[in-house]
Amino acid sequence: MAGLNKVVESYDQALAGLTDNMTLMVGGFGLCGIPENLIIKMRDMGVKGLTCISNNAGVDDFGLGLLLQKKQIDRIYASYVGENALFEQQMLSGELDVILTPQGTLAEKIRAGGAGIPAFFTATGYGTPVADGKETREIDGRHYVLEPSLTADFALIKAWKADTMGNLIYRNTAMNFNPMMATAGKITVVEVEEIVPAGSFDPHHIHTPGIYVNRVIKGSFEKRIEQRTTREA
Amino acid sequence: MALSREQIAKRIAQELKDGYYVNLGIGIPTLVANYIPDDIEVMLQSENGLLGMGQFPTDDQVDADLINAGKQTVTMATGASLFSSAESFAMIRGGHVDLTVLGAFEVDVSGNIASWMIPGKLIKGMGGAMDLVAGADNIIVTMMHADKKGNSKILDACTLPLTGAQCIKKVVTDLAVLEIKDGAFHLIERAPDVTVEEIIQKTAGKLIVPAVVPVMAV
């Protein structure tokens, strides 16, 4: 009996059941707070035809860029994809279907998906190409766009620490999209830096309750920095 | 002389008020942080999940888990808080941010802004810009008045795909401070040593020029 113990010991177990043509959410903002090793494992598994929901698409040789290299992604929902030449090439050639989504709308689509809300109205994007083909409505004199929510077969996220029951704590701005994605995956897999026994966390400090989490694996992270910017000491 | 990027940032910093929560976009808006007056307290919001963005880190403070929306390494100011992207955009969309400063390719007399896409060229995405312009009541757009060939970017109607419709009321360019109201740009200030004639010549959209145009203090 595994009970409420969510810890798995291998990346094979972590991604068991992830197959071709699935829809995945992948946490992170740029390269900050991405599930580095789960992405590498997907590359090695060679799963294809994926739909990825992720704020960005990594860089050419790290993060989701690794899956683009092997043309494993058919469609991506993202808000900003400027750092990736491979991405540009595949988008322009039509190999990659890109649904550019305003960042706040993307975050809310995922939050709503995890919260059982099928769609919501937002003023974001009204009067722009983002609203093309979508239902709009005027409410109290302002115009809004109806945005459907998003869910996924798998949510692959990164947290700082987990306890064995899958309660999660994120660190600094590596939180970003991870908490909403944790709620919106049919199977949520979390890669963490440290796993502690259940009961170790002060319940006040838990960001994501374990109810949303199916599998936890401890990884070791490169944590690549995109724009190392410093000042003189 | 047209203003430098730093001078534009310095002028925008004069719009900051004590107690403001402010979101600064990438590029010139980021520079505004360098000119916050010493006698006021403001907090910078970074839409990737940080309220209370501090200075850039020293070498030994660099933390891969602590970046701003431009993906640069940063530090946290006193009183900073951390949160998810959904919470961050609740702040933005919900109108809780007092001032948003962002760049643009074009603005027009209706307050429309185009800043995210040039058809036929690389499309990088809108990031948080559409949410920021939809959510904020108080937005300052910073941009060059004209392109390098002298073509105005202050227009009667934007030609590029919009970021937001009817949402911009104030623009600070390298030549002038403009307000948008009643279907026209209103010239509020001019850059030092820039003539009203030059501003008129480089403004394609309808421009209202008062009898006296003060010079910016930069």
Look at the block and give the residue holding tokens 């994926």: A50
Query: Does residue B167 surpass a pLDDT of 70?
Result: yes
The structure's pTM equals 0.96
Q: What is the largest CA-CA distance in chain B?
A: 55
Of the listed ranges A6-10, A159-163, B124-128, B184-188, the least confidently predicted one is B124-128
Q: Residue A1 has what pLDDT?
A: 56
Q: Can you tell me the distance from the alpha carbon of A129 to that of A1, in angstroms, rounded to the nearest whole number?
A: 52
Q: Residue A92 has what pLDDT?
A: 83
CA angle A186, A188, A190 (to 5 degrees): 175
Q: Can you tell me the distance from the alpha carbon of B216 to that of B190, in angstroms, rounded to the nearest whole number?
A: 6
Closest CA to A115 of A145, A149, A144, A148: A149
Does the distance separating the beta carbons of A225 and B73 come in below 8 Å?
yes
- A207 CB-near residues (< 8 Å, 6+ apart): A159, A168, A169, A170, A175, A179
CB pairs under 8 A between A and B: 174
In the predicted model, what is the mean pLDDT of residues B85-113?
97
- B140 CB-near residues (< 8 Å, 6+ apart): B12, B15, B99, B100, B101, B102, B170, B171, B172
Does the distance separating the beta carbons of A32 and B67 come in below 8 Å?
yes
Partner B, chain A 143-202, Cβ-Cβ below 8 Å? 160, 170-180
Question: Which three-class secondary structure state does DSSP give residue A191?
Answer: strand
Minimum-distance CB partner of A226 among B46, B60, B71? B71
In the predicted model, what is the mean pLDDT of residues A86-114?
93
Does the distance separating the beta carbons of A227 and B85 come in below 8 Å?
no
Nearest CA in chain A to B90: A104
Distances (CA, A) of A124 to B97, B127, B133: 15, 12, 8
Closest CA to B113 of A100, A130, A127, A147: A127
Instruction: Judge contact between B215 and B190, C-beta under 8 A.
Output: yes
CA angle A56, A222, A103 (to 5 degrees): 15
Query: Does residue A51 surpass a pLDDT of 70?
Result: yes
Distances (CA, A) of B30 to A16, A70, B24: 44, 36, 6
Instruction: Judge contact between B207 and B15, C-beta under 8 A.
Output: no
Closest CA to A215 of A19, A1, A16: A16
Partner B, chain A 4-33, Cβ-Cβ below 8 Å? 29-33
CA-based end-to-end distance of chain A: 54
pLDDT tens digits for range A104-146: 999 999 999 999 999 999 999 999 999 999 999 999 999 999 9
Q: Which residues does residue B208 pair with via DSSP β-bridges, in sequence order?
A: B186
B1–chain A nearest CA distance, Å: 30
Does the distance separating the beta carbons of B162 and A29 come in below 8 Å?
no
Partner B, chain A 126-145, Cβ-Cβ below 8 Å? 126-130
Suggest the residue from A88, A103, A161 to mutate for an interface test with chain B (most B CBs closer than 10 A): A103
Which residue type is seen at B192?
A: P
CA angle B62, B83, A39 (to 5 degrees): 70
Minimum-distance CB partner of B58 among A80, A91, A233? A233
Question: pLDDT higher for A83 or A24?
Answer: A24
Cα–chain center distance at B68? 16
Cα–chain center distance at A162? 17
Distances (CA, A) of A97 to A50, A105, A123: 11, 19, 25
A223–chain B nearest CA distance, Å: 6
Does the distance separating the beta carbons of B63 and A128 come in below 8 Å?
no
Does the distance separating the beta carbons of B49 and A80 come in below 8 Å?
no
User: Of residues B41, B47, B179, B197, which has the active-site annotation?
Assistant: B47
A224 Cβ under 8 Å from any chain B Cβ: yes
Q: Can you tell me the distance from the alpha carbon of A106 to that of A117, in angstroms, rounded to the nearest whole number?
A: 14
pLDDT tens digits for range A60-85: 999 999 999 999 999 999 999 877 88
DSSP-derived secondary structure letter, A128:
S
DSSP-derived secondary structure letter, A32:
B
Query: Does residue A88 surpass a pLDDT of 90?
Result: no
Using an 8 Å CB-CB cutoff, list chain A residues near B72: 227-229
Q: Can you tell me the distance from the alpha carbon of B174 to that of B209, in angstroms, rounded to the nearest whole number?
A: 17
Q: Residue B58 has what pLDDT?
A: 97
CA angle B42, B84, A163 (to 5 degrees): 130
In the predicted model, what is the mean pLDDT of residues A158-175?
98
Cα–chain center distance at A4? 24
Q: Residue B124 has what pLDDT?
A: 86
Nearest CA in chain B to A31: B71
Using an 8 Å CB-CB cutoff, list chain B residues near A100: 123, 125-126
HEC secondary structure over B51-94:
EEECCCCCHHHCCCCCECCCCEECCEEEEEEECCHHHHHHHHHC
Minimum-distance CB partner of A176 among B85, B123, B127? B85
Note the ipTM here.
0.96
Minimum-distance CB partner of A88 among B62, B66, B122? B122
Burial A86-108 (b: 16+ CB within 10 A, else e): bbbebbeeeebebebbbbbbbbb
Does the distance separating the beta carbons of B129 and A102 come in below 8 Å?
yes
Look at the block and give the residue holding tokens 């993906």: B71
Suggest the residue from A79, A97, A173 to mutate for an interface test with chain B (most B CBs closer than 10 A): A173
Q: Can you tell me the distance from the alpha carbon of A62 to that of A81, in angstroms, rounded to the nearest whole number?
A: 14
Nearest CA in chain B to A232: B58
Nearest CA in chain B to A106: B86
Question: Any catalytic annotation for residue B6?
Answer: no
Cβ neighbour number for residue B177 with a 10 Å cutoff: 23
- When the pLDDT of each residue in chain A is averaged and rounded to a whole number, the result is 96
B40–chain A nearest CA distance, Å: 23
Closest CA to B188 of B156, B215, B168: B215
Instruction: Judge contact between A182 and A52, C-beta under 8 A.
Output: no
